[in-house]
Amino acid sequence: PENRAFYLETIVEESDRMNNIVQKVLQLNQLEFGDGSVSMERFDITALISNYLENASILAQKNGLTVQFEQKDPLFVWGDPFLIQEVFQNYYSNALNHADGEKVIDIRCEPAGDLVRVTVFNTGNPIPEKSLPHIWEKFYKVDKARTRAYGGSGVGLSIVKAIMDLHHRDYGVENYENGVAFWFELDRSGDKGSS
């Protein structure tokens, strides 16, 4: 009976994991092969990130992480807020699962001319240089054992790529001695209306 409960729980967990992968693949296919329409609107990226972090704070605490986000003033950008939240969520989820050492996630929104760059940095090991060109590929995993341990599908960064390609904006990753920073850019929307 005890073994039965264990196996049943394992089956349910694996079913949930497979369902999650299928949902992500379907989402990616829709982004890559859909009609390419993006619902562009002006929104406050600071509020989007703050709200997400508030909802995700329990996971950070559970994993013993310090999350830093000092941007308080509204910062308006152009984009599809639903899709941009998906980009941020993928970056944050990766940071949450790969943060090591000091276990810090540092999030920044920095205006640069007509653009705003959002960066999600986590302390930990840099991504191996040979893997950097491949991380945006569907199902690519840098560390398969570690990715499986937290339920990663290898699809999240492909979704980021598809979303940012639809927005016609840059995104990327940079290694540092003490961690990794993923970033994306959006058009800044100030008082001048559309950019």
Q: Which residue has the tokens 């040979």?
A: 130
What is the number of structural domains in the chain? Answer: 1
Residue 193 within a domain: no
- DSSP-derived letter for residue 73 is S
183 strand-pairing partners: 119, 172
pLDDT over threshold 90, residue 108: yes
pLDDT, the chain, mean: 84
| Separation between Cα atoms, residue 111 and residue 165, nearest integer Å | 20
| Separation between Cα atoms, residue 92 and residue 71, nearest integer Å | 16
Please, which residues have CB within 8 angstroms of residue 191's CB and are 6 or more apart in sequence? none
Instruction: Count the alpha carbons within 13 Å of 91 in the hemisphere toward its beta carbon.
Output: 31
Residue 95 within a domain: yes
Residue 134 within a domain: yes
CA 5 to chain centroid, in Å, comes to: 34
pLDDT (0 to 100) of residue 24: 63
pLDDT (0 to 100) of residue 70: 94
pLDDT (0 to 100) of residue 195: 37
Please, which residues have CB within 8 angstroms of residue 183's CB and are 6 or more apart in sequence? 117, 118, 119, 120, 171, 172, 173, 174
| Separation between Cα atoms, residue 171 and residue 90, nearest integer Å | 13
| Separation between Cα atoms, residue 107 and residue 45, nearest integer Å | 12
* Mean pLDDT of the 90-95 span: 95
Helix residue ranges per DSSP H, 1-155:
2-33, 45-62, 81-98, 144-149
pLDDT over threshold 70, residue 145: no
Residue 32 within a domain: yes
181 strand-pairing partners: 121, 174
pLDDT over threshold 80, residue 191: no
pLDDT (0 to 100) of residue 120: 98
pLDDT over threshold 60, residue 87: yes
| Separation between Cα atoms, residue 80 and residue 33, nearest integer Å | 18
pLDDT over threshold 50, residue 193: no
pLDDT (0 to 100) of residue 146: 43
Instruction: Assign 12 a pLDDT band (cuts: 50, 70, 90).
Output: confident
Q: Which residue has the tokens 């619902």?
A: 39
Residue 104 within a domain: yes
- Domain membership of residue 76 as a residue range: 2-188
Instruction: Assign 38 a pLDDT band (cuts: 50, 70, 90).
Output: confident
Pairing of strands 66-69, 104-112: parallel
17-33: per-residue pLDDT in tens? Answer: 666 666 666 666 676 66
Domain of 182, CATH number, reads 3.30.565.10
Residue 194 within a domain: no
39-85: per-residue pLDDT in tens? Answer: 899 999 999 999 999 999 998 999 899 999 999 999 999 999 999 99
Residue 124 within a domain: yes
130-142: per-residue pLDDT in tens? Answer: 989 889 987 777 6
Residue 180 within a domain: yes
Instruction: Assign 192 a pLDDT band (cuts: 50, 70, 90).
Output: very low
Nearest alpha-carbon partner for 138 in 36, 38, 20, 32: 32
